[in-house]
Amino acid sequence: MNTAYLLTGGNIGNRKQNLEHAANALSKEAGNIMALSGIYETAAWGKTDQPSFFNQCIGIETMLSAMELLHIIMAIEKRMGRLRDEKYGPRIIDIDILLYNNDIIDEPSLQIPHPRLADRRFALAPLAEIAARVMHPVFKKTISELLLECRDMLPVKKLDNC
């Protein structure tokens, strides 16, 4: 059994409902959800002239390989209406693999751990909620430590009613 931590996010349509839909699809197609963070709202990162994002981390247990998981994720994104026409542009859903076991994978289509995880507060905050003591396999620091050291100053707000 493999453990993966995913980040879901989106800033188009009903953002909360889209995160719920993605979590349900992942539960049916990828594996057992073992942890689900709260929902966090953040300003757009990289391209700021767009609506704010809702983000959520999901911990799953899966029998899938990392590459198989990526293919399932891309199929879910496509079914939900994800278009890949603008880097950092608005999106209905985005699902990233942040961590997969303690693996380090460097393939053209898949990099694990996510190469910008340590630089993104919007990913670290929800991940720390469900995996605070998990060790980053490259930096050899816990997710909590990475969050404390993160220089990203974009505000990240946990939503109360989610």
Catalytic residues: 82, 91, 94, 96
Q: How far is CA 159 from CA 16, 41, 56, 66, 123, in A?
A: 10, 7, 11, 30, 15
Cα 45 from chain centre: 14
Taking the CA atoms of residue 43, residue 7, residue 71 and residue 32 in that order, the dihedral angle to the nearest 10 degrees is: -150
Per-residue b/e over 65-85, b at no fewer than 16 CB within 10 Å? ebeebbebbeebbeebebeee
